[in-house]
Amino acid sequence: MTELAIGIDGGGTSCRAAVADRNGKIIGRGKSGPANILSDLENSLLNIVESARQALRDAGIAAETISSVAAVVGVAGANVTDYGQRIEKALPFAEGRVVTDALIALQGALGDADGIVGAFGTGSVYNARKDGRLSGIGGWGFVVGDQASGARLGRDLMERSLLAHDGVRPGSPITGAVMAEYGNDPERIVEFAHSARPTDFARYAPMVFEHATRGDAVAVGIVTDAATAIGESLEALLWPGCPSICLLGGLAGAYEPWLSRYRPLLAKPKNDALHGAVELAVKLLTDPQRGAA
């Protein structure tokens, strides 16, 4: 095995890789297509490997070196049945581990410290490391979970706009804006909702926060419900002496003012998920027994 470690953040829109030396110093970066292992295992594998090759090329290292490096891949779905192991077996690295996207995000945010990480983007999910042990909750998707996700904020906005249209609940500027966008035709909202993917609903999340900040009663109600859900999940994970809570994802900054109760614990993430993957890969290089634990 060479003295190189590759960390890979395998995401639904792209795979990003970074190659580091034994001390964790990043010397090259690569990027390729998406990794959606649950829906397209084969192309995910190709993209994961391609991002690693590009990182080596970027560092001026021969591509064949890939077979003698240590690598850690973080990817959503790695914990679903045997998907993680199937990828692990097919990887060309001397030593390769496949872990969840949540784990590399937590490692990036907290480093080796204990703490809690809540990620808020299209979905929402929580992970904790306590006495070095990991646990996670949430992330069950927006149909029956992800209560604080952008997708749920958008779906709630559509629902409350229809209730306002029907005169069942009071309207507000934001419900008026939504109805106007759909030509004041509830059927068009229903049509949108029935074909909308989580990302389609999540596009309304910034609008919800904007109106909530201005005091729009309906928007405040939506965000307050989501913040209450965040509080419930944090309480389920929190323990006396928990050193910090990191909020990650595109909506982290927007939620912060609504989580004042947790302000003393809120901390900026140390690094991003890709960096977390690199850290775990360096551990794998220097201590294969403990690596990527």
Any contact of residue 189 with a second copy (CB under 8 A)? yes
DSSP H or E stretch at residue 47: helix 41-58
Any contact of residue 40 with a second copy (CB under 8 A)? no
Any contact of residue 143 with a second copy (CB under 8 A)? yes
Any contact of residue 82 with a second copy (CB under 8 A)? no
- The 10 Å CB-count burial string (b at 16+, else e) for 178-215 is bbeebeeeeeebeeeeeebebeebbebbebbbebbeee
Of the candidates 141, 163, 287, the one whose C-alpha atom is nearest the C-alpha of residue 221 is 163
Any contact of residue 138 with a second copy (CB under 8 A)? yes
CB of 129 closer than 8 Å to CB of 228: no
Any contact of residue 140 with a second copy (CB under 8 A)? yes
> In angstroms, what is the minimal distance from the CB of 141 to a second copy?
5
Give the ranges where 166-216 is alpha helix by DSSP (H). 173-181, 186-195, 198-202, 205-213
CA distances from 52 to 22, 67, 71, 103 (A): 17, 11, 9, 19
Name the segment binding a second copy (CB under 8 A); options: 87-95, 100-108, 142-150, 261-269.
142-150
Q: Which of residues 209-248 bind a second copy (CB under 8 A)?
A: 232-233, 235-236
CA quadruple 194, 195, 197, 202: dihedral sign: negative
CB of 36 closer than 8 Å to CB of 13: no
> In angstroms, what is the minimal distance from the CB of 95 to a second copy?
28
Q: Which is nearer to a second copy, 156 or 279 (CB)?
A: 156
Any contact of residue 180 with a second copy (CB under 8 A)? no
CB of 120 closer than 8 Å to CB of 138: no
Any contact of residue 145 with a second copy (CB under 8 A)? yes
Q: Which residue has 């220097």 as its token pair?
A: 286
> In angstroms, what is the minimal distance from the CB of 224 to a second copy?
17
> In angstroms, what is the minimal distance from the CB of 10 to a second copy?
19
> In angstroms, what is the minimal distance from the CB of 146 to a second copy?
10
Query: Which residues of this protein are in contact with a second copy, per CB under 8 A?
Result: 80-81, 137-138, 140-141, 143-145, 155, 158-159, 162-163, 166-169, 186-187, 189-190, 193-194, 196, 232-233, 235-236
